[in-house]
Structure 1
Amino acid sequence: MGASSVSRWVKHFKDGNTSIEDEPRSDRPRTASTERNTERVDEIIQDDRRMTVEKIAQKLGIGHSAIQEMIESLGYRKVCVRWVPRLFAEDHKSQRKAITSELLQRYQHEGDDFLLCIVTRDESWFHHFEPETKQQSMYGMPPFAFSIKKEGKDSAISCEGDGHSLLGCRGVYSGWVPGTWANHQCCSLCPDAAKLRHALLDKRPGRNIIILCDTACPHAARYTLDAIANMG
């Protein structure tokens, strides 16, 4: 403790004050984090769970820190909504219900044979590199020059398979350029569809195959869907 603090406390006790707690004092009245504004924030979040702090602040004309304080007092917290489906229209809901009912009826009639007719396809990134030998990884000491270490690169691999085995697996992209992955993936799906057709004719002859893809943009593109439809 510094000399000034000691002097202040000595004067404090000489004046007859024995308490070491701060005396109550009047603070600046709250103008933002009020009970009414907290209720308004709660109403906005209840109406739209995806509402951001910035949008709430703009809507109420209150600072971000006050909005954040009120949200914390209400007990809300942000969770990952990456896999939450978008809000479907009524026709989308009806279409999904019809397709789901049809698939359920097929499973009730065909059993596990129906599941074995499903072929799925997806892509995944992996880091590709070639390990160095002990001799290659050695570094020279000065005055020798240091060797330059080769870095690996990211590549993508595409696989198709069903309930029995893997039908195909190939590298579809090497390296990465921002904004080009979706376009390249869409263009690569169509030639791969022809390769998948030959694999199905060779490994699953006479079987009624169902191609199952996710809703990623390259899979749901019209160009891709037409190529799958032309497989016959």
Structure 2
Amino acid sequence: MTIYKWFAEFKRGRVNFSDEFRDCRPFTAANNKNIDAVRRITETACLTYHEIGASLVIGINQIQSILHKHLGMKKLCSRSIPHHLTEVHNTDCVT
């Protein structure tokens, strides 16, 4: 917080510097429970980040972190490409 925000807080009657309780998601979702859950989900089905995140109620960035850093997975294909490309298509894809 900036000094202006702190000043406004104390003017409203706040008397301590400690953080107040916030009802939100935990700071880190990459705990053993979630890592094991993502591992079990990915072993049984091919799901998107959004589908995994919706079932575990954690963010997309945390899903990506768990899959890539903790489970050592990587994305192999991000989009479908036609098998028969012309030379023009090939140069467009490269540039």
TM-score, normalising length from structure 1?
0.22
- Of 20, 33, 36, the match for 1:36: 33
Aligned residue pairs, count? 59
Equivalent residue number for residue 11 of structure 2: none
Q: Secondary structure at the match of 1:69?
A: helix
User: Structure 1, residues 32-52: CA drift from partner, whole Å, max 9, x if none?
Assistant: 11110110000000011x211
Please give the per-residue CA displacement for 1:179-219, whole angstroms capped at 9, x wherever unaligned: xxxxxxxxxxxxxxxxxxxxxxxxxxxxxxxxxxxxxxxxx
* Equivalent of 1:47 in 44, 48, 64: 44
- Gap runs ≥5 in structure 2: 1-25, 90-95
1:17-42 CA deviation, whole Å, 9 max, x = no partner?
Answer: xxxxxxxxxxxx74411110110000
Q: After TM superposition, which residue ranges in structure 1, 4 or more long, deviate above 6 angstroms?
A: none
Identify the structure with the greater helix proportion.
2
Match 2:72 to one of 63, 71, 75: 75
CA RMSD, Structure 1 to Structure 2 (Å): 2.8
In structure 1, what is the equivalent of residue 55 of structure 2? 59
- Consecutive unaligned residues in structure 1, runs of 5 or more: 1-28, 83-123, 129-153, 155-232
Q: 1:125 to 1:45 in 2, by over 3 A?
A: closer
Matches within 5 A, 1:218-229: none
Partner AA of 1:53 in structure 2 = Y
Tell me the TM-score normalized by structure 2.
0.51
SS in 2 for 1:79: coil
Query: Separation in 1 of the partners of 2:29 and 2:85?
Result: 48
Cα distance in 2, alignment partners of residues 78 and 125 from structure 1? 23
Q: Which has the larger radius of gyration?
A: 1
* Identical-pair percentage: 29
Aligned equivalents of 1:61, 1:35: Cα separation in 2: 15
